[in-house]
Each structure stands twice: as C-alpha cells, then as structure tokens.
Amino acid sequence: MEREHQAESQNFTAENGHQEDLCCVSSERKSHHPDKMKQNLITRLNRIEGQVRGVKGMIERDTYCDDVLNQIAAIQSALISVSKLLLEGHMKSCVIERIQEGDQDVIDELLITIKKLMK
C-alpha cells in the first residue's frame, strides 16, 4: 500500500520535475488541482460511489451482515486513501505557500484537519 501511495504521489509532479500548484490561496478558499490529480481523485470517488450503491443493494437484498460490513470496510479504506492524497497535495502546496506568505494560522488549521482525519 505504501508503494502504491508513493506512486500516486508522483502524479503531483509536473513534466519539468517541479511540484505543480495544487491549491491557490484566495479569499474564497478555492483549490486548484492539476488535471492528472483531479482525474485521479474523481476516478477514485466514482469507484467509491459505486461501492456505496453496491452496499445499499446488498442491504436491500438482505445480504449476510458480515459481507456487507466487509464492503463497508473497503469503502472506508478507499476514502482514507483519497484523504491521504488530498492532504499530501494540500501540505505540499497550500500550506507551504501560506507559510511563505507569513500566514502561521494555516498550521492550526492543518492540525484541526489532521485531528478530524485521525478520528
């Protein structure tokens, strides 16, 4: 899994070997994700969406509880993977950019986010 995560992290690197800007700082708190990263995240989320629909169908068909729970565990794992990718991109772009601009509040914001992800 770690090897898979490392390979996916490389998707954030531009052709010239430099890190692409993943987020932009603005008053509207918007992000900009490179097309490759955005497509990767959307593909993963579409797969997760399909898995959730599958679990709903399993419940409607009275599928054995253990089988449903295993599918739910797979969905949770997939969501955690999406979160890790997004957090990595955020830390390598938005957070660094804001610190360089002198905004130290971003550290507290990041800590709150990490605490939420670790629940």
Which alpha helices (DSSP H) does the chain contain, by range?
2-9, 35-60, 65-90, 96-100, 105-117
What's residue 30's pLDDT?
Answer: 72
* Cα–Cα distance measured from residue 119 to residue 48, given in angstroms and rounded to the nearest whole number: 20
What's residue 23's pLDDT?
Answer: 54
Top pLDDT among 12 and 114 is at 114
Grade residue 27 by pLDDT with cuts at 50, 70 and 90.
low
Top pLDDT among 64 and 25 is at 64
Closest CA to 25 of 79, 105, 116: 105
What's residue 31's pLDDT?
Answer: 74
What's residue 15's pLDDT?
Answer: 40
What's residue 74's pLDDT?
Answer: 98
What's residue 35's pLDDT?
Answer: 87
Domains and CATH numbers, the chain: 23-117 (1.20.58.1000)
